[in-house]
Structure 1
Amino acid sequence: MSDTETLLRQVEAATTATDLFGPPSADSGARRRARRTFRVLALRLHPDRLAAAAPGTDRDRAAAAFAKATELHEAWGREAEGDTTDALRGQRGTYPVGPLVARGTVANLHAVPGQDAVVKIARRPASSRFVRNEREALQALQDFTDRPGNGWLAPYFPRLIDTATVGSPTERREANVLGSLGRADGFYSLAHVRQAAPEGLDGRDWAWMQRRLLRALAGAHAAGLVHGAVLPENVLIHPLEHGVVLAGWSFATRPGRPAEGRVASQAAAYPPEASTGVLTPASDVFMLGALGLTLLRPEERAQRRFAEGCMQAAPAMRPRAADLLEEYDDLLDRLYGARRFRPFAVAV
C-alpha cells in the first residue's frame, strides 16, 4: 500500500480533529506537531501535487480528503485557541467557562453560564501582553469614571470584573472577565451592522451612534488614553436603547507613545502616524472619521464632509473629540432640525 493511499484512508476514517492531529492543546509543541501533520497531508493530497506524489490516484477522492483534512485542521486550531478549562479562578471569584461566543484579534471570548459576564482569554502566551494592556486601560477608565461628575461616562466602556491566568506553567495565558455585551444582551458590532446594511447607513441613524462615540472618545482622552483601534468590530451598539460601547482596548496606549498593536487587515483605517510614530487623541479622531466614511451612505454628503474633516494628514490639524461635540450638534440641527427618537433595527 502506498503512503498516499495510507494517508487517504486515515483521513477518510477520521471523524474528529483529534483523530488526525491529536488532542487540541495550546501547548506550542502540540501546535507544531499538528502543523507538521497537516503539511504532510497537503503535500500528498492536494490536487495540484497529486500527479507527482501519487500518479494514478483518483483526483476527486484526493480532493475530498484534502478538503476534509483542511476543515479538521481548522477545527483543531479553533479548539486549541480556546480554553478547555471548566472553570476559571480569578482574583475575586470563580467563573465557569462556557462556549466560544466571539473570536477577537488576539483573544477568544467565552460565555460565563449563569452570569452577566464573558471570559476573554489570550489565544497564545505571546498575546497575553495585549490582554494585560486592556486590563490596565479598563482599570484607568474605571478610576476616571468613578470620580465625582464622571459617572455618566461609565456605560460607554466595557466593565472589568476580574482577572486571571490560565494554562500550564510554560504556556501561561492571561484572561479578563468582562461584563457581557453580546447579542444575547441586545448588542451588535458595527461590523455586523455594515454587513446587514451594505448600502450604508442613513445619516440620522449614524447621528446617534457618532454623538455617543464622540462622548466616549472625549472621556477616554480626558482619562489619558488613546484607544488606537476605533474599528467597526470594536464599536458595539444597542439598537433598541441607542446605546454605544467602545470596546477592544487591547491596543490602547498613552498619548505620545507608539501603538501597542494594529489590525493588519484594516490598515486603511489608521492615521499616517500609526505606522511611523506615536499616537495621540488626534489618532482616534482620524479613525472615527474613517469609520464614518465606511458606514455612511454615499449620498450623505454633509456628514461625509464632517468625517473627512477629522482625517487631516497632520495630527495637529485635526479637531479634538471634545470640541467636535458642539460642532456635530450644530451640523445635525441644520440637517434635521429638532431631535426625535428614530427607531433602528439590525438584521440578524
Structure 2
Amino acid sequence: MMFAEAVALIERAGSFAELGDGESAYRAYAKAVHPDAVTSAQSATATKAFARLSKLYSERSRRVAVGDIADLLVGEKGLLKIPRSPGDSDLMEAEASALTTLRAKGDPKYRWYAPRLIESYLHEDTERRRRRVNVLERLVGFVPLSDLKKRRDPRDVAWIWRRLLVGLGWAHRAGVVHGAVLEEHVMIHPEKHGVALVDWCYSGSRVKAIVAGRRDHYPPEVLREKRATPATDIYMATGLMTRLMDEPPKALERFAAGCTYDKPRMRPQDAWRLLGELDEVLHHQYGPRTFRPFTI
C-alpha cells in the first residue's frame, strides 16, 4: 500500500471497520505510515496518521449493534452505519434520502420520531470496494422493541401504538413510507415514553429488500408486487403491536383486524386519522388515559 493512499484512507475513516478487519489490516496500514519507514519530508504526516490509526484500532470494539444489513459503531460525530456488503449501498442511500426528506418536509415538532442524519459519504476500503456510510444521531436512552422478552398488558402497549401512529403520520405527510415497521426498527424510551423509527433503508414506494427473518410480517403487496404505501406501514405497525400484547380485548382485536386486510385499499390510509379511532377504542375500553410506568 502506498503512503499517500494509506494516509488518505486513515484520515477519512470514522472507525477502524472502514479500513478493514482485524490485525492484518492494522499491520498493513502501520507498515505504510510508520514514522520509521518514511522519508524525513513525510515524517510529520506519518506521525499524525500513525497516531490516528492506533486510536482507531484501539477503539475498534465500539460496535453497538448489528443490524439486518449493516453494523452500527460509535464514531466521533455520531453512530456510523456501515453496510457489510458494498452491494447494499443503495439501501444506505435510501435511508439518507428518507431522513433528509423528513427534515426538509416534515413538521419540525415531530422530528424526534426519527434520528437525524449528520452526514452520508462514500468510503473506499483497501480492496477498492465502495460503501455508502451514514452517520446518525445516537438516540440516548432508547432500546428496540426486540429487547422486550415477554408480552405486555395492552394498556402498556397502547402508548407505544399511539406514538408509533404519530411518527408514521408525520413521515407519510412528508411523502416517506418506512417500509419495515418491525421490532428491531422501533425504538422506545421506557422512562419518557418516547418512540422513534430507525433503519429507513427500506423506505420508498418500490421495495428493494425485506428483512428475511421477518418475511411473515410483511403484507401481500410487498411480497408479491414489491411495492409499499402508507397502508403498508399501518399493516406492519398493527401486526407489531398485536404481537406485543398479552390477551388483547376483543375491541382491540377488531380494530387490528380492520388494519390488516390483505388488500391495501381496504385498510386505513391515514395514520393520524387512525390515531383518533384508536383513542376512541382505548377510551371506551379503559377510560381516560393515565401514565403507566414502563420497564424493560
- TM-score scaled to structure 2, two decimals? 0.77
Equivalent runs, 1:34-53 vs 2, <5 Å? none
Equivalent-residue separation in structure 1 for 2:186 and 2:201 (angstroms): 13
Whether 1:174 aligns to 2:132 is yes
Whether 1:225 aligns to 2:176 is yes
Match of 1:161 in 2: 118
Q: Secondary structure at the match of 1:319?
A: coil
Aligned residues: 244
Match of 1:312 in 2: 261
Question: CA 1:311/1:86 → structure 2, altered by over 3 Å: closer, same or farther?
Answer: farther
CA contact (8 A) 2:154 2:247 kept: no
Return the match for 1:186 from 107, 118, 141. 141
Return the match for 2:277 from 318, 327, 332. 327
User: Superposition RMSD on alpha carbons, in Å?
Assistant: 2.2
Equivalent-residue separation in structure 2 for 1:122 and 1:85 (angstroms): 23
CA contact (8 A) 1:97 1:112 kept: no
Equivalent-residue separation in structure 1 for 2:54 and 2:209 (angstroms): 28
- TM-score scaled to structure 1, two decimals? 0.66
CA contact (8 A) 1:253 1:259 kept: yes
- Larger RCO: 1 or 2 (CA < 8 Å, sep 6+): 2
Question: CA 1:24/1:309 → structure 2, altered by over 3 Å: closer, same or farther?
Answer: farther
Could you list the runs of 5+ residues in structure 2 that have no partner in the other structure?
Answer: 1-20, 26-52
Whether 1:131 aligns to 2:80 is no
Question: CA 1:323/1:169 → structure 2, altered by over 3 Å: closer, same or farther?
Answer: same
Match of 1:210 in 2: 161
1:118-170 deviation per Cα after TM superposition (whole angstroms, max 9, x unaligned): 1111112111111111001100111123xxxx221101111111122222462
Equivalent runs, 1:267-346 vs 2, <5 Å? 267-277=215-225, 278-320=227-269, 321-346=271-296
Q: Secondary structure at the match of 2:272?
A: helix
Q: Secondary structure at the match of 2:201?
A: coil
Amino acid at match of 2:95: E
Identity of aligned residues (%): 39
Could you list the runs of 5+ residues in structure 1 that have no partner in the other structure?
Answer: 1-20, 26-83, 88-95
If you compute each CA radius of gyration, which structure gives the higher value, 1 or 2? 1
